[in-house]
Each structure stands twice: as structure tokens, then as C-alpha cells.
Amino acid sequence: MDDCLFCKIIKGEIPSAKVYEDDKVYAFRDINPQAKVHVLVVPKAHFSDLCDITAKDTGLTGYLFKKCADIAASEGLTNGFRIISNCGADACQSVKHFHVHVLGGEQLSDKMG
Ligand code: 5GP
Ligand code: ZN
């Protein structure tokens, strides 16, 4: 997707603070962190949101969630962490490339909404 911000970040056309990369996923620090640790984990393939993912892609999404746990461990989030994926307007999704937020490093709010 030529006009997608996260596709540009994945390709290195826009700089980012990389946390992890392999052939399937890319992880980088959120530019406006909502917790002491705030990492975005994205598939390298473009999906606009969770609803854009089909049954044939579930292997990739399972892999991505496992990587979220690995990244949380490598970030030292031994006391817990939260993962969030905003999907659509009511959830205030602002970047239309499926991504998972990994938040932690401090006590998080008990409110999720
Ligand atoms: P959403 O609101 O779509 O769930 O999350 C998009 C996230 O992308 C936001 O937390 C926002 O701070 C982050 N973001 C937006 N633009 C950039 C950018 O250019 N670089 C980085 N690292 N994060 C960004
Ligand atoms: Zn994209």
C-alpha cells in the first residue's frame, strides 16, 4: 500500500525505533507512548484492520500474537502487560494497517474503554 504510514515505516521510508523484525512482522516504539513501554507490532503484509484478515491468514496472526508475548518478555514486562488492537471508527483506529499495541512497564488503568 503506497499511501500507508506503517507500510512506509516497514520499508524504512519513514524512520522508526525498531524493537524487533523478521520476515513476517515488524515492531517499533509508538511515537506517542501511552505507557512507559508502548510497542506497536505489525504484520509486514498490509491488512487494514482485524476484519481484513481472512481464515487463510490466521497462521500469521497467531504468529504475531506469540511475537507480542516474546517482545513483552524482551522488554522486561515480567509483571504483566496489555495488548490492544483498535478496529474501526468507534475504537478510534487512526492508522489503517492492522497493528497490536503492547503496553506495560507500569501499573495500567483498570479501565479499557
Ligand atoms: P491506532 O490509533 O490506530 O490504534 O494506533 C496508531 C498508533 O500509531 C498511535 O498510538 C500513534 O501514536 C502511532 N503513530 C502514528 N504515527 C506514527 C509514526 O509516524 N511513528 C510511530 N512510531 N508511531 C506512530
Ligand atoms: Zn500498510
In this structure, the strands spanning 37-43 and 100-104 are antiparallel
Q: The domain spanning residue 38 has which CATH number?
A: 3.30.428.10
Confidence label for 1 from pLDDT (cuts 50, 70 and 90): confident
CA distances from 75 to 32, 49, 51 (A): 18, 25, 29
pLDDT at 105: 98
pLDDT at 25: 98
Contact 3, 9 (CB under 8 A): no
Q: 54 C-alpha to center of ligand 1: Å?
A: 24
Q: How far apart are CA 29 and CA 19, in angstroms?
A: 7
Q: 10 C-alpha to center of ligand 2: Å?
A: 8
Is residue 87 in a domain?
yes
Using the predicted structure, report yes or no on whether residue 2 has a pLDDT greater than 90.
no
Range of the structural domain that residue 83 is part of: 5-96
Q: Which atom of ligand 1 is nearest to the CA of 93?
A: 3
Contact 99, 6 (CB under 8 A): yes
pTM over 0.95: yes
Tell me the pLDDT tens digit for each residue of 6-65: 999 999 999 999 999 999 999 999 999 999 999 999 999 999 999 999 999 999 999 999
Kindly tell me the sign of the dihedral angle through the C-alpha atoms of 76, 81, 85, 91: negative
Does ligand 1 lie within 6 Å of residue 85's CB atom? no
User: Which ranges constitute the DSSP H helices of 3-57?
Assistant: 5-11
Q: 46 C-alpha to center of ligand 2: Å?
A: 4
Using the predicted structure, report yes or no on whether residue 113 has a pLDDT greater than 90.
no
Is residue 102 in a domain?
no
Q: Is 99 a catalytic residue?
A: yes
Tell me the pLDDT tens digit for each residue of 61-100: 999 999 999 999 999 999 999 999 999 999 999 999 999 9
- Structurally, the chain folds into a number of domains equal to 1
Is residue 81 in a domain?
yes
If residue 43 lies in a helix (H) or strand (E), which one and from where to where? strand 37-43
- Overall size of the chain counted in residues: 113
